[in-house]
Amino acid sequence: MWISILLKIIISFIIIIVGHHLWIYVKEHYSVKKTKDLVGSQIQKYKTILNDIQEKEKEKEKEKGELAQKEQTQLVMYSADSNYIDLKNDLEHFLQELQ
């Protein structure tokens, strides 16, 4: 009786050890190893953030240029309007003097 119990324990350990080694073999040879690139991923994130900041700065510069151009256009239009008004007033004054 003790021999059969001891034999069952030994067979159970052998089955467990063989199963464990079989699992390790399959895991090492038939699975894809995942490696995490800690340095490269951080560099990529930094570059992404830097590109976003540079794009926003370019957009701000473009908006400033457009705003300055719009103000310049309005100033020219105001100048033209004031010249037109001045000429109109001068003409009216001249016509009144003639009468």
Is 3 a domain residue?
yes
C-alpha–C-alpha distance, residues 35 and 39, integer Å:
12
Residue 12 is assigned to a structural domain of this protein: yes
| Cα gap 52→58, rounded to integer Å | 10
Q: Would the pTM of this model clear 0.85, i.e. be above it?
A: no
Instruction: For residue 98, give both structure tokens.
Output: 């003639």
Long-range contacts of 9-16 (CB under 8 A, 24+ apart): none
69 within domain boundaries? no
* 43-98 tens-digit pLDDT: 888 899 999 989 988 888 888 877 777 776 765 555 555 666 666 777 777 778 77
Q: Is residue 20 part of a domain?
A: yes
Give me the domain span that covers residue 24.
1-30
Total of domains in the chain: 1
Largest CA distance in the chain: 144
Q: Assign 9 a pLDDT band (cuts: 50, 70, 90).
A: very high
pLDDT of residue 79: 56
Give the Cα separation of 80 and 99 in Å (integer). 29
The band of 13, judged by pLDDT with boundaries at 50, 70 and 90, is very high
Closest CA to 51 of 40, 62, 43: 43
